[in-house]
């Protein structure tokens, strides 16, 4: 079984690999989206080079749960299965959930169940690092994937049918330059691709807790005027909590000790959470960003490099995985029909497939965020009536659930 061969030197226990002078695809960023894109394109027979600053740490079941987690949809699970990374995820850590609860007032409580769409579950809560590590392990099974780590992008130049990329240690000529380097994408900036968006004037706090209650098969969100309180089940008696609030309040909460924050959580969160003990915490600001274009010449944006979304429903990484699948399908069809896969007309099909879908999801999350944060009593009555009706409208619930799971 082919492995990645590291050829130059070893420094600080991280190996540096000799880059090929030419490659079909150079991917900047080997997180969840970049690594999955590498495998997806390698499966088409393309030579793929990936650069990343640092490799993920090896998994140890004794390690504490990571703060950064994702709610992986059924569609994303299907892609990870296709890329053969899912067995490795299952062998590490994950938590399946079958129900989703949403409410503002108790009388408006609405619950979505996997049974309503004839599925065994709705998704999994998984640490980002676990997903990345599983994908890295799978990259090693492809002899047409070259990983350069540690390595960084310095600059690049467009040509008619290629891109010359200056890395910190070498120069690589690529047919495609793929940006999977996150919300502050350097590739996007160097390509001169602008973004539109705004700051939500809110922050979110991620809190890992030990739970008094056994791990449940449900994830839930309670809406408040200051922002939602969310519960994401994790393996064992553990959970990841998300606390949306004004920036000043999140700053105050971030300065508390774990024991002080435990008291705040037990006081603020719904009683159904049970008693908890805080073990780790972190915070980030909420922003929306959407690239003005996903493709420019031979530069292609994927995932957060193209779009960042309000994390209200945990759809960010799922949209990124949809980007990967769309790009793979577009390039596969081009190769199958004898077209040049890196031609601008071919790459434009990827943007056509993904831009409107991403914009629809971004707008839906913004609308939901605005509706539930508005303090007006008439609007509060309407939104609670909407939840009340939705709970008793099985066809509507099923369609919404299928869309959220990526099945439509």
pLDDT tens digits for range 4-28:
433 333 334 444 445 458 999 999 9
pLDDT tens digits for range 113-144:
999 899 999 999 999 999 999 999 999 999 99
Place of tokens 């209650």: 213
Per-residue pLDDT, averaged over 204-212, amounts to: 96
Per-residue pLDDT, averaged over 36-42, amounts to: 98
Per-residue pLDDT, averaged over 26-48, amounts to: 98
pLDDT tens digits for range 380-405:
455 545 554 455 556 666 676 676 77
pLDDT tens digits for range 46-78:
999 999 999 998 999 999 999 999 999 999 999
Query: Residue 314: which pLDDT band, with cuts at 50, 70 and 90?
Result: low
Residue 190, φ and ψ in degrees, nearest 5: -65, -30
pLDDT tens digits for range 338-364:
999 999 999 999 999 999 999 988 877
pLDDT tens digits for range 238-247:
999 999 999 9
The pLDDT, as a whole number, for residue 19 is 45
Query: Residue 311: which pLDDT band, with cuts at 50, 70 and 90?
Result: confident
User: What rounded mean pLDDT belongs to the chain?
Assistant: 87
The pLDDT, as a whole number, for residue 269 is 96
The pLDDT, as a whole number, for residue 202 is 86
Instruction: Name the nearest CA neighbour of 261 among 210, 215, 227.
Output: 210
The pLDDT, as a whole number, for residue 2 is 33
Q: Which residues contact 172 (CB under 8 A, 6 or more apart)?
A: 19, 20, 21, 22, 23, 26, 49, 164, 165
Query: Residue 110: which pLDDT band, with cuts at 50, 70 and 90?
Result: confident
pLDDT tens digits for range 246-296:
999 999 999 999 999 999 999 999 999 999 999 999 999 988 899 999 999
Query: Residue 373: which pLDDT band, with cuts at 50, 70 and 90?
Result: low
Per-residue pLDDT, averaged over 160-166, amounts to: 93
As a whole number of angstroms, the distance between CA 315 and CA 406 comes to: 10
Put simply, whether the predicted model's pTM sits higher than 0.75 gets the answer yes
Q: Return the bridge partners of 241, or none.
A: 207, 231
pLDDT tens digits for range 167-195:
999 999 999 999 999 999 999 999 999 99
User: Does the pLDDT of residue 3 top 50, yes or no?
Assistant: no
Identify the structural domains of the chain with CATH numbers, from first to last.
Answer: 9-57+132-196+289-368 (3.50.50.60)
């Amino acid at each position: 079984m082919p492995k990645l061969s590291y050829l130059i030197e070893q420094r600080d226990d991280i190996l540096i690999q000799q880059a090929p002078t030419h490659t079909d695809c150079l991917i900047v960023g080997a997180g969840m989206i970049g690594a999955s894109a590498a495998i997806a394109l390698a499966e088409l027979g393309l030579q793929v080079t990936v650069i990343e600053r640092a490799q993920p740490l090896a998994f140890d079941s004794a390690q504490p749960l990571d703060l950064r987690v994702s709610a992986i949809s059924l569609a994303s699970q299907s892609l990870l299965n296709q890329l053969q990374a899912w067995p490795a995820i299952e062998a590490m850590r994950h938590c399946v959930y079958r129900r989703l609860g949403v409410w503002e007032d108790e009388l408006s409580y609405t619950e979505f169940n996997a049974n309503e769409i004839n599925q065994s579950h709705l998704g999994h809560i998984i640490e980002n690092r676990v997903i990345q590590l599983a994908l890295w392990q799978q990259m090693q099974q492809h002899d047409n994937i070259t990983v350069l780590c540690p390595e960084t992008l310095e600059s690049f130049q467009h040509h008619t049918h290629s891109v010359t990329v200056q890395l910190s240690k070498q120069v690589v000529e690529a047919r495609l330059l793929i940006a999977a380097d996150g919300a502050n994408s350097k590739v996007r900036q160097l390509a001169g691709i602008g973004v539109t968006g705004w700051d939500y004037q809110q922050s979110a706090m991620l809190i890992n807790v030990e739970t008094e209650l056994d791990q449940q098969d449900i994830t839930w969100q309670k809406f408040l005027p200051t922002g939602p309180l969310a519960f994401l089940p994790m393996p064992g008696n553990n959970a990841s909590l998300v606390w949306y609030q004004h920036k000043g309040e999140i700053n105050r909460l971030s300065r508390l000790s774990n024991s002080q924050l435990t008291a705040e959580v037990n006081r603020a969160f719904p009683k159904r959470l049970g008693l908890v003990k805080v073990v780790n915490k972190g915070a980030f600001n909420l922003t929306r960003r959407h690239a003005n274009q996903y493709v420019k010449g031979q530069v292609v944006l994927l995932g957060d490099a193209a779009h960042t979304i309000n994390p209200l429903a945990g759809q960010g990484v799922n949209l990124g995985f949809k980007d990967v699948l769309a790009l793979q399908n577009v390039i596969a069809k081009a190769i199958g029909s004898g077209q040049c896969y890196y031609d601008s007309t071919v790459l434009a099909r990827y943007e056509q497939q993904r831009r409107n879908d991403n914009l629809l999801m971004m707008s839906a999350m913004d609308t939901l965020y605005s509706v539930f944060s508005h303090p007006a009593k008439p609007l509060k009555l309407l939104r609670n009536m909407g939840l009340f009706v939705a709970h008793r409208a099985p066809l509507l619930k099923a369609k919404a659930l299928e869309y959220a799971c990526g099945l439509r």
